[in-house]
DNA sequence: GAGTGGTCTAGACCACAAA
DNA sequence: TTGTGGTCTAGACCACTCC
C-alpha cells in the first residue's frame, strides 16, 4: 500500500527520469493532457505536480510549446544559518556569550552596516565549551528596535533576543575569508596568520534596516553546510 | 488595473501582515473558509495561496486547529554557487584555466572525496584577468563518467565539461576557511598566512557519487552571496 | 489560428488532530 | 465527535506564443 499522493507519484516519476538522464536538458516532457491520460486523473493534479517541478527549477514551462527539462545554470543551495546559541547547545556543548563592548555606533560603523542613525554597537564572543567559536560585531537600528537601547547584553547574545523582538525579517548574506586583526585574534585565542570564515548579514523588516552583523569564525572550528536537492 | 492573480493577492496580503508584525509568530491566520468568504472565491484558490506560504516556511498548518504564523528558527538562505567560468565572464573579466596535474586518484584522495575507485584526479587554477581566483582539486568517478578518462582537461576546466555530461545532480556543500599549504599559496600567488575561503562539494546522480571538488579562494578576491527572502 | 499552460470554480471525500 | 486542512475531480475561460 502507498501513503504517497498521486501528485507526488507523478512528480517523482518525472523527476526520476530527469535525474537518471533518461530525459536530458532541452527534452520535452509529456503534455499535461498526455499525463492526464496516462495517469487517468484530473488536469489539476498533473498541473500541480509539474508546477512543483518548475518551481524547483527542474523544468521550464512555455505556453503553446510545452514543458521542457531545464538546463542547469547556477548551482544553488539552501544554506542553513543557525542561531549560534542553539547550534552549540544542539552539539551538546556548553554555550557562553561574553560581551566586549556595548556603545553608540560611530559614523563609520553605520556606513559599513548600512544602518541609519541612531544605532547601537555590540561586540562580543560566542564560546563553545569555553573555546571561542565566533567573534561578533553587531549594529542594531534604534529606530527599528527602540527597546535595544535599554537592553543589557552582558549575559545574553543580541542575536537570540532580536529574533524574539523582530521576527520574520529579510536578510542578505556575504560569506568570505579574512585574517583577523591583532585584537580580533586575541579575542578568538588564535594567531593573526590563521584563516577566519567571515559571515556578514544585513537584515530588514518590511524594507527597513534592522541589524547588521559580522561574525568571524576561526577556520578549523566551524564550517557552513548547504544541501542542494531540488525537488525534495 | 492589476496584472496580479487573485492567489498572489491573497498571499501577499497575508505575508505583509506577517512581515509588518501585525500577525506575530503563534498567531492564527484566518481559516480557509473565512478567506473564501472574505475574497469571494473558491477554496482551491485560498488553499493554493496559503500552501505557498507554508512551503516558504512563513506559516505552519495544523489539521483541525488552523494555520499559524511560524516561529523563525534557523535562518536559511539560498546560496548561489555559480560556475566559475560563467561568473568571471559575467564580470567582464578574461577567464583562463590552467591545468596543474591530471592523474589517477590515490586511495587517500578517494577517502576524502568519498568517491569509489577508479577515479580521476584533476588539479588546476581558475584565473580572472590573469589573477588566480581559485585553486581546484577535483575527483571524478570513472564508473559514473567513463568518458572523463579520455578527456583532456588542459584547455577546459572539468566543471563546465561535467555539467554537460552529467546534468541535474544532487550536491552537498561545506564552506569554511583555511590557510593554504606552501604549494597552494604558490599556485594562488599569495602568502601562506593569508586566509582562504574553502568550498567543498560532493555531487551525486541518482544517489551514485559523481564528483568531489575542493576550491580554495584567496580571501579578498571572492565571496559568496546568499539572499533570504521567503515568500519571494 | 490552434494548442499550450495559467488560473479559477464549485463541488467532493478523506485523514487527522483537537475538543 | 467535529472541523480543519489535504487531496482530487471535471469542468471552464483566458493569455500567450508558436506555427
Neighboring chain B residues of A162 at a CB cutoff of 8 Å: none
Take residue B70 and report the three cell numbers written for it: 511560524
Neighboring chain A residues of B82 at a CB cutoff of 8 Å: 74-75
User: Which residue approaches C15 most closely, CA to C1'?
Assistant: B63
CA distance A93 to A78: 25
Q: Is residue A203 part of a domain?
A: yes
Residue where one domain finishes, among candidates B52, B69, B86:
B69
| Structure confidence at residue B2 (pLDDT) | 53
Same domain, residue pair A119 and A222: yes
Q: Is residue A119 part of a domain?
A: yes
Q: Is residue B36 part of a domain?
A: yes
pLDDT above 50 (res A232): no
Mean pLDDT for the stretch of residues B37-63: 96
CB contact under 8 A, B83 and A74: yes
What is the chain B residue with the closest CA to A229?
B170
- How many beta carbons lie within 10 A of that of residue B3, not counting itself? 5
CA of A214 to C1' of C11 (A): 54
pLDDT above 70 (res A231): no
DSSP B172-219: EEEEEEEPPPHHHHHHHTS-TTS-EEEEEEEEEETTEEEEEEEEEEEG
How many Cβ pairs within 8 Å bridge chains A and B? 201
Half-sphere exposure of B108 (CA within 13 A, CB side): 0
| Structure confidence at residue B198 (pLDDT) | 96
> Residue A195 — pLDDT band, cuts 50, 70, 90?
very high
CB contact under 8 A, A167 and B198: no
Mean pLDDT for the stretch of residues B128-138: 96
| Structure confidence at residue A80 (pLDDT) | 81
Q: Domain tally for chain A?
A: 2
Same domain, residue pair B171 and B90: yes
Same domain, residue pair B152 and B212: yes
Residue where one domain finishes, among candidates A27, A50, A69:
A69
Query: Which nucleotides of chain D are near protein (any atom < 7 Å from a CB)?
Result: 2-12, 15-19
Same domain, residue pair A105 and A33: no
Q: What is the pLDDT of residues A97-129, one digit of tens each?
A: 999 999 999 999 999 999 999 999 999 999 999
A74 or B108: whose pLDDT is higher? B108
CB contact under 8 A, A175 and B226: yes
Residue A215's DSSP bridge partners are A136, A199
Q: Which of residues 25-44 of A touch strand C (CB under 7 A)?
A: 31-33, 43-44
Q: Given the DSSP bridges, would you call strands A75-81 and B75-81 parallel, antiparallel or unpaired? A: antiparallel
Q: What is the pTM of this model?
A: 0.92
* Domain interval for residue B14: 6-69
Whether B63 sits with its Cβ under 7 A from any strand C atom: the answer reads yes
Same domain, residue pair B65 and B95: no
Same domain, residue pair A92 and A178: yes
> Residue A1 — pLDDT band, cuts 50, 70, 90?
very low
Same domain, residue pair A91 and A65: no
Looking at residue A222, which CATH number applies to its domain? 3.40.1410.10
Spell out residues with C-beta < 7 A from strand D.
A 5-7, 40-45, 48, 62-65; B 31-33, 43-44, 47, 50-51, 54, 61-67
Q: Is residue A144 part of a domain?
A: yes
Same domain, residue pair A35 and A142: no
Burial of A92 (0-12, 13-18, 19+ CB in 10 A): exposed
Q: Is residue A110 part of a domain?
A: yes
Same domain, residue pair A90 and A64: no
DSSP A101-123: EEEEPPHHHHHHHT-PSSEEEEE
> Residue B231 — pLDDT band, cuts 50, 70, 90?
very low
Q: Is residue B232 part of a domain?
A: no
B18 or B78: whose pLDDT is higher? B18
CA of B55 to C1' of C1 (A): 40
Same domain, residue pair B87 and B64: no
CA of B5 to C1' of C7 (A): 8
CA distance A138 to A128: 19
Looking at residue A31, which CATH number applies to its domain? 1.10.10.10
pLDDT above 90 (res A162): yes
B18's CB contacts (< 8 A; 6+ apart) are A168, B58, B59, B69
Same domain, residue pair B34 and B98: no
Burial of A42 (0-12, 13-18, 19+ CB in 10 A): exposed
Q: Is residue A159 part of a domain?
A: yes
What is the chain B residue with the closest CA to A203?
B228
Any idea which of A25-29, A198-202, B224-228 has the lowest mean pLDDT? Answer: B224-228
CA distance B118 to B143: 7
CB contact under 8 A, A206 and B19: yes
Any idea which of A54-63, B78-87, B161-170, B221-230 has the lowest mean pLDDT? Answer: B221-230
Same domain, residue pair B65 and B84: no
CA of B55 to C1' of D6 (A): 14
Q: What is the pLDDT of residues B66-112, one digit of tens each?
A: 999 999 877 778 888 888 998 899 899 999 999 999 999 999 999 99
A226 or B136: whose pLDDT is higher? B136
Beta strands, E only, A53-144:
59-62, 66-69, 75-81, 95-104, 119-128, 131-141
Q: How far is B69 from chain A (nearest CA, A)?
A: 10
Residue where one domain finishes, among candidates B28, B44, B69:
B69
Substitution target from B26, B179, B193, B226 for chain A, most A beta carbons within 10 A: B226
| Structure confidence at residue B203 (pLDDT) | 94
Q: Is residue A114 part of a domain?
A: yes
pLDDT above 70 (res B207): yes
CB contact under 8 A, A77 and B175: no
Note whether A76 and B80 are within 8 A (CB): yes
**Could you say which of B163, B174, B193 has the minimum Cβ distance to residue A72?**
B163
CB contact under 8 A, A205 and B19: yes
Take residue A154 and report the three cell numbers written for it: 552582558
| Closest by CA position to A222, among listed A174, A171, A175 | A175
Displacement of CA A37 from its chain's centroid (Å): 41
CA distance B161 to B158: 5
Amino acid at each position: 500500500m502507498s501513503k504517497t499522493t498521486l501528485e507526488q507519484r507523478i512528480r517523482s516519476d518525472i523527476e526520476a527520469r530527469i535525474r537518471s538522464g533518461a530525459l536530458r536538458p532541452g527534452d520535452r516532457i509529456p503534455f499535461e493532457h498526455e499525463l492526464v491520460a496516462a495517469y487517468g486523473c484530473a488536469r489539476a493534479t498533473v498541473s500541480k505536480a509539474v508546477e512543483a517541478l518548475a518551481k524547483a527549477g527542474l523544468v521550464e514551462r512555455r505556453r503553446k510549446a510545452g514543458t521542457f527539462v531545464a538546463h542547469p545554470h547556477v548551482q544553488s543551495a539552501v544554506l542553513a544559518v543557525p542561531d549560534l546559541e542553539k547550534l552549540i547547545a544542539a552539539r551538546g556543548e556548553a554555550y557562553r556569550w561574553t560581551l566586549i563592548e556595548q556603545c553608540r555606533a560611530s559614523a563609520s560603523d553605520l556606513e559599513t552596516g548600512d544602518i541609519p542613525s541612531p544605532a547601537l554597537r555590540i561586540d562580543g564572543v560566542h564560546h563553545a565549551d569555553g573555546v571561542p567559536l565566533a567573534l561578533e560585531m553587531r549594529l542594531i537600528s534604534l529606530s527599528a528596535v527602540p527597546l535595544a537601547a535599554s537592553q543589557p547584553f552582558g549575559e545574553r547574545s543580541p542575536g537570540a533576543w532580536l529574533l524574539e523582538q523582530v521576527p520574520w525579517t529579510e536578510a542578505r548574506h556575504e560569506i568570505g575569508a579574512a585574517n583577523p586583526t591583532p585584537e580580533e585574534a586575541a579575542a578568538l585565542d588564535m594567531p593573526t596568520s590563521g584563516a577566519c570564515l567571515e559571515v556578514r548579514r544585513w537584515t530588514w523588516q518590511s524594507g527597513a534596516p534592522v541589524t547588521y552583523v559580522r561574525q568571524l569564525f576561526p577556520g578549523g572550528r566551524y564550517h557552513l553546510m548547504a544541501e542542494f536537492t531540488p525537488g525534495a
